[in-house]
Each structure stands twice: as structure tokens, then as C-alpha cells.
Amino acid sequence: LRVARSSIPDLIVSDVMMPEMDGMELCRKLKADAEVGFIPVLLLTARADVTDRIDAYALGADAYLSKPFDSRELVARVDGLIRERRRLRGHYASRLPQVDNERLRSADEVYLDSITRIIHERLSDEEFSVERLAHEAGQTRATLFRRLKDAAGTTPSALIRQVRLERARTMLERGAGTVNEVAYGVGFKSVSHFCTAFRETYGTSPGSWKASREGGQSVDRTSP
């Protein structure tokens, strides 16, 4: 458990029969731990009883392989679990702004939702940092980086910036203040930095975006 928390591996393969803690208990503790519960677990066992497999899956095991097995099957199972994790990561990465609207609540979604909520609560604080996000999430900085990378293919700083820009865009659409007020309202220290980030993300300046939404005109993607 200590190694899993410190290294955050892509996958954990464990034998069911171990001296100090059996694989079933290890799986139970891993899946109950908020910091490592998202890591896929594959259990290996010499017991082929159906009840054992059912118990393993009930504890949250992602795969269960009975001995003796072909090493190629083990490799295929490992590859499949990692591939599925990457597929989910890509899927949710493209839908981060709508995390709150998702209907299916996977462990990754719940995690992203909790992190995004923390950012929203501190959005106007220009001193809000990755370190403070990790602290409020109850995680180390390294764990936060690894979990966000695994769940959504992004970094904490990129997510903070994304949430700020998403809120800024909404505020501009609703006419909730001037460009300067919106910039400071979502935590940017510099209006020029905000304008640059906004243009890089949405292809137009905040002023043009605001004017187009208020006047129903097309967005000017060339003006400053």
C-alpha cells in the first residue's frame, strides 16, 4: 500500500496467496483508498473456485486469473486493462468542462468532479496554486499530478487554467462585467495574460467575444 501511494503504478498484479496480507485483503484496502482506488488490480490464484472469483470482483478486482496460465494471457490481460484505462482517460479529457453534467459516475468522474469543485470555490483567488489544490484535495503534489494525468490526460495547472477560462467565457457571454473585471474575477493576475490565454483557447479576444454575444454579431478572430 505504501509503495502504491508513493509510485501510483498503472496497474497492480498480486498473488492471492501472500504471507503477511493476502491478495483479497490487499485489493479491498486498495479500492477503499481514495488516493489509489482507481488503479486497476489483477489477482493471480491457484484456486479456480467460482466463489473465489465472485468474492474478488465484489472487492473491486478488475481481473482474476487462475493458475496455471499462459504468460501470453497474462500479458494480454495487462495490456487490455491499461488500454481501457487510457481509453477512459481520453474520453473524459475531451469532456472536462461538462464533468458536472455526466450521468455515469466512474471513479475518475467522481475524482475530477471533486477537484473541479475545489477550483471553482477558489476561482477568484489569484494566489490559488497547484500546491494549495493538492492540500485541499488531501493529496501530495505528486499524487495529484499522477491522478489527473491518468484520469484526464492533463496537469493540475492546465486544469486550473481551463476552469478559469471556461468561467470567464460564461461571464462574458452573460455580460457579467468588463473584460478587466472578468479577468480578475476568475483569478488572473494580469489582464494581458488573460487576453492571451483566452485567444489561444477560443481563437478570439475576450472583448470581441463579449461584444459578439451582447450584440449578436459574429466573432472577430483577428482583432486584439
Residue 125 φ then ψ, to 5°: -85, 105
Distance separating the N- and C-terminal Cα atoms of the chain: 52
Band (186; pLDDT cuts 50, 70, 90): very high
**Each residue of 199-221: pLDDT tens digit?**
998 888 998 888 877 654 444 44
Q: How many residues can be counted in the chain?
A: 224
Residue 101 has pLDDT above 70, yes or no: no
Q: What pLDDT was estimated at residue 193?
A: 93
CB atoms within 10 A of CB 25: 13
CB-based contacts of 142: which residues, under 8 Å, 6+ apart?
6, 8
Average pLDDT, the chain: 81
Domains present along the chain, CATH in parentheses: 2-91 (3.40.50.2300), 95-215 (1.10.10.60)
DSSP state string for 54-76? HHHHHTT-SEEEESS--HHHHHH
Cβ-proximal residues to 164 (8 Å cutoff; 6+ apart), any chain: 119, 123, 186, 187, 188
Q: Which residues of 93-113 are buried (b: 16+ CB within 10 A; e: fewer)?
A: eeebeebeeeeeeeebbebbe
Nearest-5° Cα angle at 65, 54 to 110: 60
CB 153 within 8 A of CB 89: yes
Which residue is it, cell 470555490? Answer: 121
The Cα 124–Cα 137 span in angstroms is 18
